[in-house]
Amino acid sequence: MEYVKLYSELLTAEIDGLLTCNEIERLIEKPKFLHQGDLAFPCFQLAKTMRKPPAEIAKGLSSRLQSQVDGSFNRFEPVGGYINAFLNKQNVAKELLNEIRQKKNHYGDLNLGESQTITIDLSSPNIAKPFSMGHLRSTVIGNSLSLIYEKCGYRTVKINHLGDWGTQFGKLITAYKLWGTEEKVKAEPIQELLALYIKFHQAAESQPQLEQEGRDWFRRLENGDAEALELWKWFKDESLKEFKKIYDLMGIEFDSYAGEAFYNDKMEPIVKMLREKGVLEDSDGAQVVKLDESEAPCLIKKSDGATLYATRDLAAAKYRFEEYSFVKSLYVVGNEQTLHFKQIKAVLAKMDFPWANGITHVPFGMMLKDGKKMSTRKGKVVLLENVLQDSIQLAEKNIEDKNPSLANKKDIAVMVGTGAVVFHDLKNFRMNDIEFSLEEMLKVEGETGPYVQYTNARAQSLVRKGAFADGDGEVNLAADSEWPVITELQVFPDTIKRAIEKNDPSLIAKYVLNLSQAFNKYYGEVKILEDDAEKDARLQLVHSVSIVLEEGLRLLGLKAPNEM
Ligand code: ARG
């Protein structure tokens, strides 16, 4: 919070370098009760160095502080070993609301990035397989992180590292040649390709020669065989069409779709470099890099010469640095791949790439259903697109029940329905496992996306009803009832800073929930539209709340309808 800084600066000037400004800042507390002021400084540490009782120090210091109260603080009061500081609420409110009025949706912008680039590896589903809950988590966390980084002055490059290469495509081609038809794949690509893949594995149990056929087809694919390539490309295009439906619903775009296959011709140089550096070792015919950071060596080439997932990621990391010269390269991928990214980073460090330091795995937990991992069990596929459609339908039904005359019902149902799914994910610290529940997601009371969206729509409707015109009139809000809303508005920039430090959008989700709660309480207690001298100031506050809620929702990847 800004005022913590201000308070610690005032204190620093009074204590002759006994503590640094940062040390003081860390010591400052928020008192439990309102009558104890807004900020409290404990004098116990000073007491040790000064060899004086804390209460005596508090007394002396607060009278010195008192003699130089400025616009932000009203008074300082020694209580035991603490100095309680009382803000000048009226001035603070005025200053804050003016700041928001001027900056609008740029309130909270930070220039931490100075236009440097961050690459974000996100979503990255596997071709010919259903888009899983894990990929959804990666998509929404990654998308929100990119919005947060941009707000902090970074340039971001969102990369969808599609899983579009590997031996499984040889098997898929084999299965398609044996049992597939064009019509079926066209009609329901993902389901049909998955069914073929499953059938392959079942059949291979009694007909082991199928495995060899699969390997042969993959070899032909790797050698550029026209038929193999054509089928592979078709499977990929059909899958992408399906994935794009999901991205469209969520309003998410990527800067690059360079998937694993993109690196086919970029791996030999990496293997050569590893060999030249002398870090590549032979292990039972396979090529590996031994690492001390993790017990398991990183497998670079199988004994049959085939490259691996890790080899492609090494090539991709190098390519990304050369292409985008990132200062940081994020990988939003489930925590089951922690070892993999540890290895990638360690191998790149062994290759003496200084940028290896910027490689950052941003892991997350699982999505659970009834306490169990949501998996794509054989044949029984939970298609994510259906989840989104169900959520949208439920949102539409809610609107129909509560506000049937609403204009653009369909569009708003999409904003609310997809927003509910996204928010449900982002409100949890990303490492936590999440229980999936459509009913929970859509509740308008509770910690949900629709609740925040609804609060914002309520604020906007007040602004409309009050015929509020955003002029530059004096804002004078003396009452204590505004204070909880003011203090929430104030911590928005700091919340963004903490979210970027921890790569954690949940801090923003929790923030918009807190601001919504504070605002709804205020709304319940105060007659905002009452025609008195403070009406305009109150509407200015409400308007500010809606600016900040909308911006907070935007950073999470949610839309903010002005009516719902
Ligand atoms: N396709 C992989 C999977 O579904 C995720 C890829 C993540 N990104 C990466 N650069 N390895 O498990």
Residue range 423-476, pLDDT digits in tens? 999 999 999 998 888 788 878 788 999 999 999 999 999 999 998 887 766 677
Residue 478 has pLDDT above 70, yes or no: no
349 within 8 A of 317, measured Cβ to Cβ: no
pLDDT class for 294, splitting at 50, 70, 90? low
- ipTM topping 0.95: yes
262 lines ligand 1 (CB under 6 A): no
How far apart are alpha carbons 88 and 69 in whole angstroms?
10
Task: Tell me which residue has its CA closest to atom 1 in ligand 1.
Answer: 163
- How confident is the model over 8-20, as a mean pLDDT? 90
Any atom of ligand 1 within 6 Å of the Cβ of 171: no
**Is residue 46 very low, low, confident or very high in pLDDT (cuts 50, 70, 90)?**
very high
What's the topology of domain 2-87? Gyrase A; domain 2 (3.30.1360)
Q: What percent of the chain has pLDDT over 70?
A: 97
**Is the pLDDT assigned to residue 306 strictly greater than 90?**
no
For residue 378, what pLDDT band results from cuts at 50, 70 and 90? very low
Residue-level pLDDT at 375: 59
Annotated domain spans of the chain: 2-87, 117-263+315-368, 384-556
For residue 164, report the distance from its CA to the centre of ligand 1, in Å: 10
Q: Residue 161 Cα, ligand 1 centroid: separation in angstroms?
A: 6
- The helix, strand and coil proportions of the chain, stated in percent and rounded to the nearest 5, come to 60, 10, 30
Please identify, by atom number, the ligand 1 atom nearest to the C-alpha of residue 162.
1
Say if ligand 1 is within 6 A of residue 164 CB.
Answer: no
User: Does the beta carbon of 313 lie inside 6 Å of ligand 1?
Assistant: yes
Mean pLDDT lowest for which of 216-220, 293-297, 316-320, 498-502?
293-297
Q: Cα of 159 to ligand 1 centre, how many Å? A: 11
CA angle, corner 175, sides to 174 and 179, nearest 5?
A: 125
Q: Are strands 286-289 and 117-121 parallel, antiparallel or unpaired?
A: unpaired
Q: Which residues of 428-455 are buried (b: 16+ CB within 10 A; e: fewer)?
A: bbbeeebebeeeebbebeebbbbbbbbb
Sign of CA dihedral 412, 418, 419, 420: positive
Please work out whether the CB of residue 81 comes within 6 Å of at least one atom of ligand 1: no
CA of 406 relative to ligand 1 center, distance in Å: 42
Q: Is 550 in the pocket of ligand 1 (CB under 6 A)?
A: no
Ligand 1 pocket: which of 337, 340, 376 to mutate (most atoms within 8 A of CB): 337
CATH number of 384-556: 1.10.730.10
Pocket of ligand 1 contains residue 333 by CB under 6 Å = yes
Instruction: Supply the pLDDT for residue 307.
Output: 83
Three-state secondary-structure class, residue 164: coil
Q: First-to-last CA distance in the chain?
A: 33
257-278: pLDDT as tens digits: 999 999 999 999 999 999 999 9
Token pair of 448 as six digits: 């949900």
Q: How far is the CA of 120 from the centre of ligand 1 (A)?
A: 12
For the beta carbon of residue 359, count every other beta carbon within 10 angstroms: 24
Q: Which long-range contacts (CB under 8 A, 24 or more apart) does 58-67 make?
A: 58/82, 58/83, 61/11, 61/14, 61/15, 64/14, 65/10, 65/11, 65/14
Classified as helix, coil or strand, 285 is coil
Cα Rg of the chain, angstroms: 29
Q: What is the DSSP letter of 107?
A: T
Q: Ligand 1 centroid to 436 CA: how many Å?
A: 22
Give per-residue pLDDT as tens, 54-113: 999 999 999 999 987 778 899 999 999 999 999 998 888 989 999 999 999 999 999 999
311 lines ligand 1 (CB under 6 A): no
Residue 133 pLDDT: 86
Say which residues have a Cβ less than 8 Å from residue 378's Cβ, sequence separation at least 6. Answer: 198
pTM equals: 0.92
For residue 66, the one-letter residue type is Q
CB of residue 331 inside a 6 A radius of ligand 1: yes
333 CA to centre of ligand 1 in angstroms: 7
Give the mean model confidence (pLDDT) for residues 115-119.
98
Residue among 121, 124, 376 whose CB has most ligand 1 atoms within 8 A, to mutate: 124
Ligand 1 site, residue 551, Cβ cutoff 6 A: no
Exposure string for 10-26, b = 16+ CB within 10 A, e = fewer: bbbeebeeebeeeebbe
- The tokens describing 242, both together, are 């399906």
> What sign results for the dihedral spanned by CA atoms 218, 221, 225, 228?
positive
Residue 213 Cβ contacting ligand 1 at under 6 Å: no
Which range among 69-83, 131-145, 239-253, 460-474 shows the weakest confidence by mean pLDDT? 460-474
Cα(128) to centroid(ligand 1), Å: 14
Determine the Cα–Cα distance for residues 547 and 252; give it in Å rounded to an integer.
22
Ligand 1 centre to CA of 126 (Å) is: 8
Confirm or reject CATH 3.30.390.50 for domain 117-263+315-368, answering yes or no: no
Q: Tell me the pLDDT tens digit for each residue of 319-330.
A: 999 999 999 999
CB of 524 within 8 A of CB of 455? no
With a 6 Å cutoff on the Cβ, whether 132 touches ligand 1 is: no
